[in-house]
Structure 1
Amino acid sequence: MELQLESLKYQDLAIQSVVKLFEGTEKNTFDNACFEGIRSNYSKLTIDEVETNLKNILVENGILEDVARLSQDKDICIEMETGTGKTLVYIKTIYELFKHYGFTKFIILVPSVAIRQNIIGTFKAFNKQLEDIYGFIPNAFEYDSKKLQKVTQFIEDQHPQVMIMTLASFNSEDKILNQAQREDLFNNIPFIEAIGKCNPIIIMDEPQEGMDTENSIKQIAKLNPLFKIRYSATHKVVKNLLYRLTPYDSYKDGLVKKIEVLTVTEKNDEATLKIELSDIQFGKGDPKVKLKAWHLNNSTNKIDFKVTGWLSQNDNLGIKTNNPSYLNYTIANINKSLKTGKWTVKFSNGTEILEKQIAGSLENIWALQIEWLIHRHFTKSQKLESKGIKCLSLVFIDRVSNYMGETPIIKNLFVDKYKAIYPEYNGGKLPPTEHIQSIQGYYFAQKASGEFADNEGGVKEQSKIYELILKGKEELLTLSNPVQFVFSHSALGVGWDNPNVFNIATLNNSYSEIKKRQEIGRGLRICVNQDGKRVYDALDVSDDDRINQLTVIPNETYETFVTQYQEEIKSIYGTENAGAGMTHTHKGVAVDEVKFKRNPSAEMDKAFRKYWTALARKTEYTISFKEEDLVTQASELISKITIPDFVIEAFSFLINAITEDGKEDSFQGSENVKQKSFFTPLDLIEELSENTGVSYTTLFKIMQRLTNLNEMVKNPPRFVHEASAIIRNVELDEMIRGLDYQITGESYPFNFDDFVKNISSKGYVETPNKGVFDKMLVDSDVERNFSLDADTDAEVVCFLKLPSFYKISTPIGNYEPDFGLIMKRKNIRNGNENEFYFVIETKGTNDINDKKALTESEVYKIRCAMKHFEKLGLEVQYKAPVKEYNYFKTEANKTINTII
């Protein structure tokens, strides 16, 4: 098979963006670009001329200068989403730069062997087709310190030279390129200095992978580049961003596969009391560990399985996680075994956690992930084979030993599941043993000792490159080649991909160790058929007929998967609304210095000062409630608790499309597999007391009235958590019932002068008509819309976003309401105009009982505020929660009508 070269508009734009940067450059020849036997890249362009070119390109590409982060450094960034062909883009850019300007010296810097091999393979795959277009083939070679004659050729030759090398080739003074005392120097100078005289154009592939460290910057500077061109989907350092193809654009325009997320995760598994050894710190002082365990968050009423901070001997896990279920888990010893060389953590109750130990039911999760992977693989294979497309599936595993070791759990699970599923798709026939072996391929780093490494660090000692996986992309794509499932650890996490990867499963000790964008990126490319041609779907293709669909099978919830993906997008773009399935702001968000000016109206000032006098009065509160009421209500509510079964759940969402309003996904179905709960019985009363602060005596009274203790047996930690939440809520209800505010006689000062704030255009709205200030700070679309509507209401005298120093004390923390507003209304009885004062709390709902839109703390603070404003009297009316201005107006009218 020969992969076919295509002319794609978005790739051509990226290429021409770089070419145009050098507009005005005199074409390099032997006469102007050779000196002392060295052929170099030569350009007379000044910094100002380059900057002019750059700004013109930014205008063409629709990128704001603030987003581009203009710099006079000789760096430019090209941002292209994973799977859209950036390797081919910069290879074609090399051809174009020679064609237009005669530049001959190029260095491609890579962070890993996988990426280096991918580049070499891409050159080989497209050499002939590119020669037909451009009339030449550059001398592209992999740097080898044992073959310095190739470096000499690079320095001297007038034919285009491309040297592909890792940072490790020259990142320390003892490397051969840096050595000044050698017999084979180039004209008596170190090779690194001679290369620097070539003024190479350096192409940095995935520069965020270690190319911006202090040492790397220093070493790269020795190469004296004419320019550095950074190519990545996830730039960490951005300078002169010349071209951007975001995840949003790629997904919207059908440049990558659509994504289905089929998640497999434990549900209602708090009863397992899982503990995992996450990290170890040793050296000076006693060893410390980080453990992954169930944490209770009282404010959000959630249980999360997450990593603790550093723990030492005698630390109590129950205290550290705020989870009373772990109160019997005090660290007794942290030790490294002389026999196994592995760390262990022993607890006072006899429990022992081993380093890299598999959590209790993780094997069951892996089995279900593999089962769904094989089902998806067979379904897609049968559909795709008739179109001449081979289906490949990629499996990321937690440790190499689980596939290659003495007890290869994952390999055994795969074989068992494949044997069980194969007959379903093959007329009831069983698969031959040799067939099962032949369909598996793998790529792991291997040390000189023969031991397989869990990461690519082993490559530094000695690597075993699996030709088919790393180099033989075309062969792997042929239907005649038996390999269909590829297993790897982190070595294929970056830099390797294959257009016909249609399924990816991540089997990990915990949530995916591989970043989501890397994980998805291995299979985002548009697929190819047996002729090496890309096969596209129509933009309006139905789900049943779609070919380019990537199924990702992680061992976590869909929400967790998407949240982590959004966080990665946010760390790069500053917003989660830029990725596949998320909304997108193409030109970024500029932050400016914005001045907020007081409205000069004397009438408004007079009304506002009078309003503030009424509003600014401070209060303090007292609380009282009865124990019997707490016992009665808590026992009645706790008796209604039902505990769900502990299961492993698999369910699928297809991300159908992306719009400016957000992602559109569709639920594809789900299945549950029941699991057994394993737990250590703990004292229920003690746990409830730890969680609620209620005395043992009161809790005994509550427990004696419960009618559903059978639910507690199903999953004690879950029961304790839900019961604790109920007791805390009842406490708060009783607290508010017995809450009373008193006016203190103190007031907040009148302090409303013009001010300046650094803020984006999305952080405020213009309020020139009725605003106390000409602009209003806003935190949400709800606040934005409210401000715009209030500013155009003829009955509004003035309004403002209340300052952060205006606080109302509550038993659960200070509360800051949103808006203050004055309305005027004519009294139909006497014709006089009256002013009415309001405070408004805007939320995403008009219903205080809407638990989806409001957190418990928000509800309780609103209820406390109601009592505060009641104490202030009818002078200031409080409206909360409010979603739309029209709703507020309706409620305000009701209030006004009762007053007048």
Structure 2
Amino acid sequence: MILKLENLKYQEDAVKSVVKIFEGTEKNTFDNSCKEGIRSNINTLSLDEVESNIKNILLENGISEEVANLSNDKDICVEMETGTGKTLVYVKTIYELFKHHGFTKFIILVPSVAIRQNIIGTFKSFNTQLESIYGFKPNAFEYDSKKLQKVTQFIEDQHPQVMIMTLASFNSEDKILNQAQREDLFNNVPFIDAIGQCNPIIIMDEPQEGMDTDNSIKQIAKLNPLYKIRYSATHKVMKNLLYRLTPYDSYKEGLVKKIEVLTVTEKNDEATLKIELSEIQFGKGDPKVKLKAWHLNKSTNKIDFKVTGWLNQNDNLGDKTNNPSYLNYTISNINKSLKTGLTTVTFSNGTEILEKQISGGLANIWALQIEWLIHRHFTKSQKLESKGIKCLSLIFIDRVSNYMGENPIIKNLFVEKYKAIYSEYNQGKVPSSEHIQSIQGYYFAQKASGEFADNEGGVKEQSKIYELILKGKEELLTLSNPVQFVFSHSALGVGWDNPNVFNIATLNNSYSEIKKRQEIGRGLRICVNQEGQRIYDALDVDDNERINQLTVIPNETYETFVTQYQEEIKSVYGTTNAGAGMTHTHKGDAMDAVKFKRNSSAEMDKAFREYWTALAKKTEYTIAFDEENLITSASEFISKITIPDFVIEASSHLIHSITEEGRTDTFGGTDKVKQKSYFTPLDLIEELSENTGLSYTTLFSIVTRLTNLNEMVKNPPRFIHEASTIIRNVELDKMIRGLDYNLTGESYPFDFDDFVKNMPATRFVETPNKGVFDKMIIDSDVERNFSLGADAAAEVVCFLKLPSWYKISTPIGNYEPDFGLVMKRKNLKNGNEKEFYFVIETKGTNDINDKSALTESEIYKIRCAMKHFEKLGLEVHYKAPVKEFTYFKTEADKIINTIM
């Protein structure tokens, strides 16, 4: 199924509102938006001109300046009710901003892995349709600290780039993007600073979820956004509100489902529903217990579900919690069973609570909620299937163990109720166990150990479950897919939704802190049929004929559901009428003003000026590339890959003795069983494209020539890794072979005066002897040690850390070499001294083929630089990579000896 793109007026209005902010700005082009290899977003409008545009937009959208909260801050708010497609709105906004204004750099900032995966799914679902409309497809990718080449592409590329990332990717100084002491920096600056030079437009999805803390504001500011555009239904920070679609408007216009709240309660059993046995103490004196119950704070009138202090026999729970609901609950007995070893707490009214079990009343409530959910599901399914619409029901639980644990009470209740109710709607038939299992789906956070977690922290360790449910959204919508009931953790509801969720039950054993708008939002979207087409109801449709109706079934702790929902609406809009009808602790080194002073030696000044005359010559490159040659070479090398068999091995050792001297045993033999892997050719092409950047067409030509696809089947991930490495190496080799540099006739100016920089002591080293300046700026320990070695060497005339504005252009961005150095040597035959010029690139290795110490881009840029310096003639000798000064001196001696 392919979800169909719609032209909905309210969505178009939201898109246009943002695009019009920049009306009148100079359109971004290659010529006006590129500087030093970085493609940026530029806005030529003044703040006053932007404000004028915003006022015109507000007038069109009927929003007063007071409600909009006009501000000169570069923050824009777009408010859309949950379920109305805000993700698709800002995706289309990206296309329109490039189309109208040429903006190319966008960051989508999300609060969680779930929302990030949902956005990636949205791009994949609508890429083809949007490309047919706009004629291009942006490079949308999720940030991965292990794939910094994608960040480099984001910074340098002319094509629209969309980087999707969580705040956790850069919200502390130790994150990779913030690190300044790395060998793989972009142009010798932290990646966060390089990204900042792009002036990206930052799209903030649900910014109220932690994006406005002091630390978050500080970290986001490093990205130097052109503008921040906030999208949410529940803004906490409101600035320059351009567009607003309220719950009432979306509800009234039929843009979301209607809401039915089906409350399940038991009367005269309220307290039992709210008591759990938390802890027991046996030993000296009488036994004691701690109970989890509702506590009433009389000063704030707020109720919290929390653990009491130690309670004894005859203690009254109402007194201990300040909650009059419990006044009839006096502890009459605390007993530990000899048979089961379990503790029971008995109250004066006859209620009993057993250790390790939830109070009986709650299980009964869950049973009723599930029963009504299944009834609603069957009633709706039979009506919807005839229209080609699949009905999904969502069940929130607040303890994963209640579904996945040793005593999965919720799962057991579901099976029991489903069996009974199924017969009522299916002519008395009894469903098989296989059928009942097949209709259930779930997504919970899962840790790397395989354990399921009760909070979102587990998602950061393992997102496979999330990826499965999100990437399979369209699959879940098909009638042929058996899954009809999806179980999820209540704390993980944000970020996943499906247009065909028609029923939501919330099975909690305590008060839920989740906002009601957030929870019901999981099922508000208008449904779709088997063609992916949204199906709307007429505005005057009879309730009995309505298709888009969401039934919410809260438990007893949700008896104030509607009141709380209306209070949320009131806190945002000022009236209930707007609602729907229903670390690293490192803080950085101290910064001081450091003065860098030119060496006053006349001999050094003369040598350096002559050296600079040779070094400063600029070049430009041309490149010729033979794709057929690349295809042939890559396929030949990949066809030589051999992969060990994927096996499970069993071996036997009979141990005779284990002593301090060692172990004696007899080997009994071994068995190996080959395992099969399942992988499709399309997966191979897609994975190779992801890892190499080559087009599907080129990779298809390579793969069709392979003679060893049987090797791939043995271990697909390993094969792809090795093949990707081969392709990248072939690409590198072919591009280098076709690369040529030519002198432009221009030169960098001799511009070296004393200067002052604010920097910590760790960022420079004293070079009073041979330094062109008395101090040298360094970015690593390798550079520090090289500087100290050069400053102490008798044969060195002068050296310096080359300025950041000295750049060599390469096909993958500008390259900045590290050091320039002049060395002198006396000719033993005639006694004359001669000076020799060097440029040095310092790295953590002396071997250019050491891929554990060098990235592919570093190797590529070094090899490009070799060709650049060849064009300068024999005057300047380039040595890279260099780890120690002693190694450089040995290599320099070899060069000098061949010349002299």
Query: Is TM more than 0.5 here?
Result: yes
- The answer to whether residue 304 in structure 2 is matched with residue 307 in structure 1 is yes
- Residues 345 and 4 (structure 1 numbering): CA distance in 2 closer, same or farther, change over 3 Å? same
- The answer to whether residue 290 in structure 2 is matched with residue 292 in structure 1 is no
Partners of 1:289 and 1:310 within 8 A in 2: yes
Deviation at 1:478, TM superposition (A): 0.7
Matches of 1:425 and 1:324 in 2, distance apart?
Answer: 41
Partners of 2:441 and 2:487 within 8 A in 1: yes
Match of 1:481 in 2: 481
Deviation at 1:445, TM superposition (A): 0.2
Match of 1:205 in 2: 205
Deviation at 1:114, TM superposition (A): 1.0
Match of 1:79 in 2: 79
- Residues 43 and 278 (structure 1 numbering): CA distance in 2 closer, same or farther, change over 3 Å? farther
3-state secondary structure, aligned to 2:212: coil
Matches of 2:31 and 2:558 in 1, distance apart?
Answer: 62
Deviation at 1:188, TM superposition (A): 0.6
Paired amino acid for 1:321 = N
Partners of 2:526 and 2:534 within 8 A in 1: yes
3-state secondary structure, aligned to 1:361: helix
Matches of 2:325 and 2:512 in 1, distance apart?
Answer: 28
3-state secondary structure, aligned to 1:263: coil
- The answer to whether residue 325 in structure 2 is matched with residue 321 in structure 1 is no
Matches of 1:508 and 1:343 in 2, distance apart?
Answer: 24
Match of 1:420 in 2: 420
Deviation at 1:490, TM superposition (A): 3.2
Match of 2:128 in 1: 128
Deviation at 1:573, TM superposition (A): 2.0
Matches of 1:32 and 1:437 in 2, distance apart?
Answer: 60
Matches of 1:49 and 1:424 in 2, distance apart?
Answer: 67
Deviation at 1:462, TM superposition (A): 2.6
Deviation at 1:330, TM superposition (A): 8.2
Partners of 1:277 and 1:292 within 8 A in 2: no
- Residues 530 and 322 (structure 1 numbering): CA distance in 2 closer, same or farther, change over 3 Å? closer
Match of 2:378 in 1: 378
CA deviation vs aligned residue, 1:559-614 (integer Å, no higher than 9, x gap) = 611001112212222332211127xxxxxxxxxxxxxxxxxxxxxxxxxxxxxxxx
3-state secondary structure, aligned to 1:32: helix
Matches of 1:145 and 1:152 in 2, distance apart?
Answer: 12
Equivalences for 1:272-287 in 2 at 5 Å? 272=272, 274-276=274-276
CA deviation vs aligned residue, 1:490-524 (integer Å, no higher than 9, x gap) = 35411111000011111010344432111111110
- The answer to whether residue 402 in structure 2 is matched with residue 405 in structure 1 is no
Partners of 2:257 and 2:550 within 8 A in 1: yes
Matches of 2:2 and 2:164 in 1, distance apart?
Answer: 23
Paired amino acid for 1:120 = I
**TM-score under structure 1 normalisation?**
0.59
Partners of 2:269 and 2:361 within 8 A in 1: no
Match of 1:464 in 2: 464
Matches of 2:54 and 2:353 in 1, distance apart?
Answer: 57
Partners of 1:86 and 1:231 within 8 A in 2: yes
Match of 1:53 in 2: 53
Equivalences for 1:769-780 in 2 at 5 Å? none
Matches of 2:43 and 2:148 in 1, distance apart?
Answer: 27
Partners of 1:439 and 1:483 within 8 A in 2: yes
- Residues 35 and 554 (structure 1 numbering): CA distance in 2 closer, same or farther, change over 3 Å? same
Paired amino acid for 1:485 = F
Partners of 1:359 and 1:509 within 8 A in 2: no
Equivalences for 1:376-775 in 2 at 5 Å? 376-490=376-490, 492-556=492-556, 560-581=560-581
**TM-score under structure 2 normalisation?**
0.59
Partners of 2:277 and 2:289 within 8 A in 1: no
Deviation at 1:454, TM superposition (A): 0.7
Matches of 1:508 and 1:413 in 2, distance apart?
Answer: 14
Match of 1:259 in 2: 259
3-state secondary structure, aligned to 1:522: helix
Equivalences for 1:151-190 in 2 at 5 Å? 151-190=151-190
Partners of 2:490 and 2:506 within 8 A in 1: no
Matches of 1:325 and 1:504 in 2, distance apart?
Answer: 30
Match of 1:147 in 2: 147
Matches of 1:393 and 1:553 in 2, distance apart?
Answer: 11
Partners of 2:260 and 2:551 within 8 A in 1: yes
Deviation at 1:4, TM superposition (A): 0.4
Q: Report the aligned-residue RMSD.
A: 3.3
Matches of 1:530 and 1:95 in 2, distance apart?
Answer: 28
- Residues 50 and 369 (structure 1 numbering): CA distance in 2 closer, same or farther, change over 3 Å? same
3-state secondary structure, aligned to 2:576: coil
- Residues 421 and 352 (structure 1 numbering): CA distance in 2 closer, same or farther, change over 3 Å? closer
Matches of 1:325 and 1:82 in 2, distance apart?
Answer: 38
Deviation at 1:230, TM superposition (A): 0.3
Partners of 1:114 and 1:491 within 8 A in 2: no
Equivalences for 1:31-46 in 2 at 5 Å? 31-46=31-46
CA deviation vs aligned residue, 1:622-679 (integer Å, no higher than 9, x gap) = xxxxxxxxxxxxxxxxxxxxxxxxxxxxxxxxxxxxxxxxxxxxxxxxxxxxxxxxxx
Matches of 1:162 and 1:556 in 2, distance apart?
Answer: 44
Partners of 1:468 and 1:476 within 8 A in 2: no
- Residues 252 and 290 (structure 1 numbering): CA distance in 2 closer, same or farther, change over 3 Å? farther
Paired amino acid for 1:528 = V
Matches of 1:61 and 1:311 in 2, distance apart?
Answer: 53
Matches of 2:557 and 2:326 in 1, distance apart?
Answer: 24
Partners of 1:207 and 1:235 within 8 A in 2: yes
Paired amino acid for 2:519 = E
Match of 2:794 in 1: none
Matches of 1:350 and 1:407 in 2, distance apart?
Answer: 25
- Residues 153 and 56 (structure 1 numbering): CA distance in 2 closer, same or farther, change over 3 Å? same
Partners of 2:277 and 2:290 within 8 A in 1: yes
How many residue pairs were aligned?
565
Matches of 1:513 and 1:329 in 2, distance apart?
Answer: 29
Equivalences for 1:236-255 in 2 at 5 Å? 236-255=236-255
Partners of 1:448 and 1:462 within 8 A in 2: yes
3-state secondary structure, aligned to 1:396: strand
Unaligned runs of 5+ in 2: 281-287, 335-340, 583-900
Deviation at 1:72, TM superposition (A): 1.1
Paired amino acid for 2:408 = P
Partners of 1:312 and 1:331 within 8 A in 2: no
Paired amino acid for 1:109 = L
3-state secondary structure, aligned to 2:504: strand
- Residues 356 and 469 (structure 1 numbering): CA distance in 2 closer, same or farther, change over 3 Å? farther
Deviation at 1:329, TM superposition (A): 4.8
- Residues 325 and 534 (structure 1 numbering): CA distance in 2 closer, same or farther, change over 3 Å? closer
Match of 2:892 in 1: none
Partners of 2:275 and 2:291 within 8 A in 1: no
- Residues 387 and 184 (structure 1 numbering): CA distance in 2 closer, same or farther, change over 3 Å? same
Match of 1:640 in 2: none
Unaligned runs of 5+ in 1: 281-286, 334-339, 583-900
Matches of 1:195 and 1:331 in 2, distance apart?
Answer: 67
Match of 2:112 in 1: 112
Partners of 1:205 and 1:230 within 8 A in 2: yes
Matches of 1:272 and 1:510 in 2, distance apart?
Answer: 12
Paired amino acid for 1:444 = F
Deviation at 1:328, TM superposition (A): 7.2
Partners of 1:423 and 1:430 within 8 A in 2: yes
